[in-house]
Amino acid sequence: MNKELPYFQFMVGDWFKGDIQCCKHETKGVFIDICAQLWRKDGMLPPDHDTLARLCRCDKQCLSNALAELDHWGITSRNDDGMIVVDFITEQLSEMAEKHERRVQAGRKGGMVSTLRKSSNAKAKPKQCLSNAQAFSDTESDTESDIYPDDFASFWEVYPKKKNKGAALKAWKKQKRIMPNLDRVKEVVLALSRSKDWTKESGQYIPNASTWLNANGWDDEIDTSKNGQSINEPRDKDGHFPY
């Protein structure tokens, strides 16, 4: 069970505007139970319908029908190990894990600074010692550079939706072996940022970066009704899209 936060974030707007509204009311109820169980089980549930039916306190047929409907709309999915996952739960857990790791690293480095101070001469000049604020600031900076590699940082800089960075980094590391080069990925992101789907209603329908990466978003085609260009159209002599 998640020990740092006893609840997960639930966005009412996302609920009423999301694909979950295409599902039956019974399926919606099962989905809430699945989300609560995922929060307790560190974001993954085994695809055992007998066990899940007991956890959700419904019969096996009801559970099976609900999962089939949720899978159809892409609301639930499976990870590489075949476990049931829900993106927004995974993203929140990843973000919390990232914050926890940063606090741990900051505590370790802060402890090292404290130890060094105690062993130094009590008459040392003030300029020879770091203040607590400086030490913490340096720790945060070091940890930031350790967590986010340069290629991911470059991608994050151009991706328009700045949410759940930790989950995005996890997806980046997972997908890096199959994604094209960084320039290609950034080019597609910049092109999609001008597309109809990503600009309508002030960008409300831009997916989180982790969702986009896990779905191989660099293969997406751009809606030509706004740009007049397709992502698969020929590039110029330098290999870039002619935007």
94 and 78 in a common domain: no
Residue 241 lies in a domain: no
Over residues 118-138, the mean pLDDT reads 51
**133 shares a domain with 155:** no
Mean pLDDT of the chain: 80
Asked whether residue 136 falls in the same domain as residue 171, the answer is: no
Q: Is 79 in the same domain as 99?
A: no
Of 104, 125, 147, the residue at which a domain comes to its end is 147
Both 77 and 95 in a single domain? no
Range of the domain at 202: 150-227
Q: Are residues 154 and 217 in the same domain?
A: yes
Residue 58, in any domain of the structure: yes
Q: Is residue 30 part of a domain?
A: yes
pLDDT of residue 136: 46
pLDDT of residue 182: 93
Domain assignment present for residue 165? The answer is yes
Task: For residues 171-190, give the mean pLDDT.
Answer: 92
Q: How many CB atoms lie within 10 A of CB 191?
A: 19
169 with 110, same domain: the answer is no
99 and 49 in a common domain: no
pLDDT above 50: residue 228: no
Structural domain contains residue 232: no
Least confident of 58-72, 100-114, 174-188: 100-114
Altogether, the residues listed in the chain come to a count of 243
* DSSP H helical ranges for the chain: 12-17, 25-40, 49-56, 60-72, 87-119, 132-147, 150-158, 165-175, 182-192, 196-199, 209-214, 224-227
Residue 95 CA to residue 97 CA, distance in Å, equals 5
107 with 66, same domain: the answer is no
Q: Give yes or no: residues 72 and 94 share one domain.
A: no
Assessment of whether the complete model's pTM goes beyond 0.85: no
Distance CA 134, CA 77 (A): 44
Number of domains in the chain: 3
Percent of the chain with pLDDT over 70: 74
Task: From 85, 102, 127, give the residue that closes a domain.
Answer: 85
Angstrom distance (rounded) from CA 92 to CA 167: 8
* Domain closes at, from 104, 123, 147: 147
Both tokens assigned to 240: 């870039």
Please say whether the beta carbons of 167 and 198 come within 8 A: no
DSSP letter (8 states) at residue 91 = H
CATH number at residue 57: 1.10.10
240 within some domain: no
pLDDT for res 124 = 52
CB of 187 within 8 A of CB of 241? yes
* Per-residue confidence band for 14, with pLDDT thresholds at 50, 70 and 90: confident
238 in a domain, yes or no? no
On whether residue 236 sits in a domain, the answer given is: no
